[in-house]
Structure 1
């Protein structure tokens, strides 16, 4: 288990410090790949603005001498209601890549979601220990998808996360302008056909590669097929509409991630936090709902809990920690999330995650109606 990060070794006092440290060390085109969104980056900016419009109504005169951030996600204990989101090609930012991030997540007691486009194979990532979920894109070759699922099961992964909002990669103008391509030392560790991602062109080589590999014909039949071919819990990532949430529940999906892909797919899509309450209501009590896109600290986690989420996924902050400090940097970022959440919970009068899910919020002066949480 990695020791707690030494502030002198990884001097992050906040998640924002990690962001600034990462930008300082990464090449400009790699920073743009990590930081950028699609189109005019309207949704990228809106994610943050929408979170900042959610105000919590704290409770007082409650004993918060022992605030506990521990809970469960997909039925397994976690130290805080958080998982590390799937982010592709992490060796772009640090030579230890996903394996370092997975070790840090294991040490912090939270799940790590390994991407299909990880720069290390799932078997090596899973060897880091801890709780690993495996994220899949629906590829043109269905056999390859099912083989990846089998490999994830054999490696000991605890869930399959199907990303459903990427029929192809959106126009990410920073990558297009940079003519971004993978350097030779970074490969998609789970796939064999990655040559296109290394070929510099007038546009984004990664967009060309995903267009070649991803199936734009993905439908609900893919969810049903996946459900029938795995014994693991199935999570759908990229749901924003209540109608889609209800359909997912009908098909027996175990959890949903309310996500606009961090502002990297449809530019102009609703901020994830604004879609959360309706999806929670549509999903009902039997299907866990998580949130990602724009989460930058413990107060954001508390906002998500108060609006009905069981937890959150964080992507860019973990990558910032990895870029600036390797495994220790990721661990420090996760420590900060836990410390900030504990602080926010106590100040809001919540001694447990369940109590946090009973908080009320207001946004734009109108009180939010939140689905009551049992217990």
Structure 2
């Protein structure tokens, strides 16, 4: 168990250190309060000193924003190479997370935050961290993310394809990009399934919140098996399946990628970018060496019924960023003894695709998301 140490009123104090991003224990920790100036806080954070906040909660949030503005004063480096721009952007994001992650708060027993004007964060922390194991120090930035995730879980995210809301859990990728959901909702089913969807089986691999499994069930498929390697995602998918009264049609299975048996339709929406995630939520975006993509392709033939199809939902953002070529994708499909019979494309609708200040705007604005229909070859 990692521990931070500091001195308060000439007394040595310590607390358990917790970071969902596996950030290292701060080398030095000092107490900070409402008298702390933003310039001093920023300088010390850049030097690696953590600031354990004991002042007003709202003042802590304002200090965090002030530190963020100081980071923004130094414009990030840029390059004419899309791949180098991506890596520079990732490096800049890592620096930001490191500096802002130095402003800490102490959670007491039962995840209570005792700062002045602090909200009740106990339920949000229980959902993200599990039962309390005693006092622990966390980054304020992380705690704000935990609270935000709790609000999303309560309110849910509207999914027009379902006519209802999906409720994401902390650390599970939320279906905020509707284009990939709409592709699964509106692409015609394989011919064998169109005639008898009530006797068909579909797999949803990497289900996350369970949204695509719910869409498939909503389309009349009688049996859907949803899998994931992330225990948080499995719990989230089970809860959403229960909320939607689909427990008789959706089976949540895992942890793992492929379930046992074969299906008429196997759907997979893997992380789109071949890079290393730095936080649990990034596991829905970044897939080192395209491991999940290749695992899906390699196992597809062995799990499809005769006449069945695999649906690969994938953005070409990695190609536009120079992280993967189209030929590499086609070669991987061919190596798995699969054939492309159709490709349905859609353009992004999310706000970042129109944000000209985004460092990756050129690639995002041209991005295309596709549903690749795959069948096995003899």
- TM-score, structure 2 length as denominator? 0.29
Bigger radius of gyration: 2
- More strand, by proportion: 2
Give the TM-score normalised by structure 1: 0.29
